[in-house]
């Protein structure tokens, strides 16, 4: 077979790879012979704290059906404490930081049979292999070999957001999915996020006068700065509220980039399940509404319209799974969670070195997000 050294410790031996490809193509392993194999590293612009690498592995195989092409996606994940980024965490905060980021939830989700329990319209890549690596070589690491779910891109208009929100509501309300909501066994709370991310990193940045004196940041957030800083006084009460709420299955990072086109026009394939765990109702709406905006893509409609539509569609999804009458609860949770996970941290203090034009565009979107999250909180007061 072709050299696969680019995969490093993520590679399989030839026998295991042959069996994996045979399984993918639907043939007995002893009836398949692999031809040349290619490995290509997947380019990814967003820094990942727990992902060591991503690769496409492809080739051809001689099978009872003739010569067949194949391609799989390989992902190597490790605990954050082993990441190169971890050296930037101050020593006193390292234990808290390491404990606050799950690295094994996604592996547990792939192993759990979750794919067979998802509501119609939602799917996830088929896991052909999920392998724990030798801890002597790669501590706290696993590798997944997944089917290729690449499909043509679909535009995210309002209707697609609503369909995604509806299915996320069905996911949360599904009695079939519920037993697998916590398969990763990760001990996490909103309070842990607020302590580790907001109080340790974000709030000190917001308290620095030089941030607001920045020639781009200052003007962009001038009209919301005071209200924003005042609202941070309620962090503990808001955190306690959502941490005390009943929990339901949640993707955990349901941004549009993690909801790929499915095999039908109104379906989605969920990827990047690293934060798969039980959460308060409406948790997934934060990243659905704000995720693309945080990466610089404006929403297809104004944020109030988007939030209203997604809250209603999510509540409809819950009702379809036998949980009616929860729209007010979802709306309240969405207001609180959008503020905690997107509004408070919206000022792009980590991007101050970007070109002024680029930074101005980011600040414009982020300032809108702050205004919207504060308006939602005020409406729920």
pLDDT tens digit sequence for 58-81: 999 999 999 999 999 999 999 988
Alpha carbons 359 and 348: distance in angstroms, whole number: 8
Q: Which two tokens stand for residue 218?
A: 């200052």
DSSP-based three-state secondary structure for 67 = strand
Alpha carbons 332 and 336: distance in angstroms, whole number: 6
Neighbour-count burial of 279, counting CB atoms closer than 10 A to its CB (0-12 exposed, 13-18 middle, 19+ buried): buried
For the chain, the average pLDDT equals 94
Q: Is the pLDDT of residue 241 over 80?
A: yes
User: Considering the entire predicted model, what is its pTM?
Assistant: 0.95
Q: Is the pLDDT of residue 314 over 60?
A: yes
pLDDT in tens, 205-225: 999 999 999 999 999 999 999
pLDDT in tens, 13-47: 999 999 999 999 999 999 999 999 999 999 876 66
Q: Which two tokens stand for residue 55?
A: 């690769």
Helical (H) or strand (E) element with 226 = helix 225-231
Cβ-based neighbours of 298, under 8 Å, separated by 6 or more = 365
Find out whether 55 and 17 touch, Cβ atoms under 8 Å: no
- Better-scored residue on pLDDT, 120 or 85: 120
The residues spanned by each domain of the chain are 5-132, 154-379
Alpha carbons 303 and 368: distance in angstroms, whole number: 8
Query: Buried b vs exposed e over 113-140: b needs ≥16 C-beta within 10 Å?
Result: ebeebbbebbbbbebbbbbebeeeebeb
Q: Is the pLDDT of residue 1 over 70?
A: no
Q: What percent of the chain has pLDDT over 70?
A: 98
Task: Report the pLDDT averaged over residues 269-298.
Answer: 96
C-alpha torsion 227→230→231→235, nearest 10: 160
Cβ-based neighbours of 280, under 8 Å, separated by 6 or more = 190, 242, 245, 246, 247, 248, 333, 337
Token pair 């706290």 in the structure block, residue:
140
Task: Report the pLDDT averaged over residues 285-308.
Answer: 97
Task: Report the pLDDT averaged over residues 303-312.
Answer: 98
- Out of 78-92, 189-203, 311-325, pick the least confident: 78-92
**Please, what is the angle between helix 283-294 and helix 356-379, to 10°?**
160
pLDDT in tens, 42-59: 987 666 788 899 999 999
Q: Is the pLDDT of residue 107 over 80?
A: yes
pLDDT at residue 330 in the model = 98
C-alpha torsion 353→358→359→361, nearest 10: -170
Find out whether 103 and 273 touch, Cβ atoms under 8 Å: no
pLDDT at residue 46 in the model = 67
Kindly report the length of the chain.
381
Report DSSP state, residue 2: -
CATH 3.30.530 fits 154-379, yes or no: no
Q: Kindly report the backbone phi and psi dihedral angles of residue 150, in degrees, each rounded to the nearest multiple of 5, phi listed first.
A: -65, 130
- Out of 164-168, 248-252, 262-266, 338-342, pick the least confident: 262-266
Q: What percent of the chain has pLDDT over 90?
A: 86
Neighbour-count burial of 307, counting CB atoms closer than 10 A to its CB (0-12 exposed, 13-18 middle, 19+ buried): buried
């Amino acid at each position: 077979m072709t050299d696969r050294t680019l995969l490093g410790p993520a590679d399989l031996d030839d026998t295991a790879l042959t069996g994996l490809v045979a399984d993918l193509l639907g043939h007995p392993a002893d009836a398949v012979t692999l031809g040349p194999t290619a490995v290509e590293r997947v380019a990814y612009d967003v820094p990942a704290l727990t992902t060591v690498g991503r690769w496409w592995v492809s080739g051809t195989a001689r099978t009872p059906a003739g010569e067949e092409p194949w391609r799989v996606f390989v992902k190597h994940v490790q605990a954050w404490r082993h990441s190169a980024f971890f050296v930037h965490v101050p020593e006193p905060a390292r234990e808290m930081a390491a404990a606050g980021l799950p690295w094994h939830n996604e592996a547990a989700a792939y192993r759990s049979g979750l794919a067979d329990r998802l509501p119609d319209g939602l799917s996830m890549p088929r896991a052909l292999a999920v392998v724990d690596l030798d801890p002597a070589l790669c501590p706290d690491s696993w590798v997944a070999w997944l089917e290729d779910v690449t499909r043509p891109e679909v535009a995210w208009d309002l209707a697609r957001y609503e369909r995604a929100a509806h299915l996320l509501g069905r996911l949360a309300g599904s009695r079939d999915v519920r037993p697998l909501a916590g398969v990763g066994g990760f001990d996490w709370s909103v309070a842990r996020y607020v302590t580790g991310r907001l109080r340790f990193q974000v709030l000190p940045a917001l308290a620095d006068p030089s941030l607001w004196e920045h020639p781009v940041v200052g003007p962009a957030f001038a009209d919301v700065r005071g209200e924003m800083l005042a609202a941070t006084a309620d962090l503990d009460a808001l955190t306690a509220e959502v941490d005390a709420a009943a929990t339901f299955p949640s993707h955990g990072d349901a941004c549009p980039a993690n909801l790929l086109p499915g095999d039908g026009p109104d379906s989605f394939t969920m990827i990047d399940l690293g934060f798969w765990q039980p959460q308060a109702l409406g948790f997934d709406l934060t990243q659905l509404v704000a995720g693309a905006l945080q990466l610089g893509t404006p929403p297809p409609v104004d944020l109030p319209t988007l939030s209203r539509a997604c809250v209603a569609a999510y509540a409809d999804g819950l009702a379809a799974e036998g949980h009616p009458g929860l729209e007010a609860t979802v709306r309240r949770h969405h207001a609180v969670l959008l503020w905690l996970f997107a509004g408070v941290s919206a000022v792009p203090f980590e991007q101050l070195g970007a070109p002024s034009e680029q930074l101005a565009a980011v600040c414009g979107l982020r300032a809108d997000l702050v205004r919207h999250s504060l308006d939602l909180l005020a409406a729920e007061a």
